């Protein structure tokens, strides 16, 4: 079996790292990825995909990348269930296992 995804896109916002309830460092990496074909109106649609990164991957991405930078994300698709207002909500999310900085800023101070 194989569960692997590779994405390359532009960051839609700066990455910020926060601590989860369990004390893990977490960051959401939001990518804009234009499609390689035009729609019926002759325009390229764009997909917006959020990825979740943990610990060192999250810290490094936040330190070296900012809004507008192009990054590659290699990871896996993961599903989970949340309870919201007595309803089950099923989520699919991308877990980043590696983030490659394709264009990035100098190290932030």
Task: Indicate which CATH number applies to the domain containing 18.
Answer: 2.40.50.140
**What integer pLDDT is reported at residue 33 of this predicted model?**
96
In the structure encoding, which two tokens stand for residue 100, read together?
């490659």
pLDDT above 90 (res 50): yes
Please, which pLDDT band fits residue 105 given cuts at 50, 70 and 90? Answer: low
Domain, as residue range, for 79: 5-36+44-101
* Model confidence pLDDT, tens digit, residues 60-70: 999 999 999 99
Does residue 18 form part of some domain? yes
Overall number of domains in the chain: 1
How large a percentage of the chain has pLDDT more than 90? 81
Q: Is residue 109 part of a domain?
A: no
Segment 7-41, tens digit of pLDDT: 999 999 999 999 988 999 999 999 999 999 999 99
Alpha carbon dihedral 60, 74, 106, 65, in 10-degree steps, equals: -80
On whether residue 108 sits in a domain, the answer given is no
- Quick check: pTM over 0.85? no
Which stretches of the chain are DSSP H helices?
Answer: 55-64
8 A C-beta contact, residue 32 and residue 10: yes
């Amino acid at each position: 079996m194989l569960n692997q995804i590779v994405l390359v896109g532009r960051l839609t916002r700066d990455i910020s790292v926060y601590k989860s309830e369990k004390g893990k460092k977490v960051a959401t990496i939001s990518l804009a990825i234009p499609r390689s074909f035009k729609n019926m109106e002759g325009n390229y649609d764009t997909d917006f995909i959020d990825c979740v990164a943990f610990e060192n991957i999250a810290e490094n991405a936040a330190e070296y990348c900012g809004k507008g930078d192009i990054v590659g994300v290699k990871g896996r698709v993961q599903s989970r269930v949340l309870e919201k207002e007595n309803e089950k909500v099923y989520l699919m999310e991308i877990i980043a296992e590696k983030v490659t900085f394709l264009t990035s800023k100098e190290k932030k101070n």
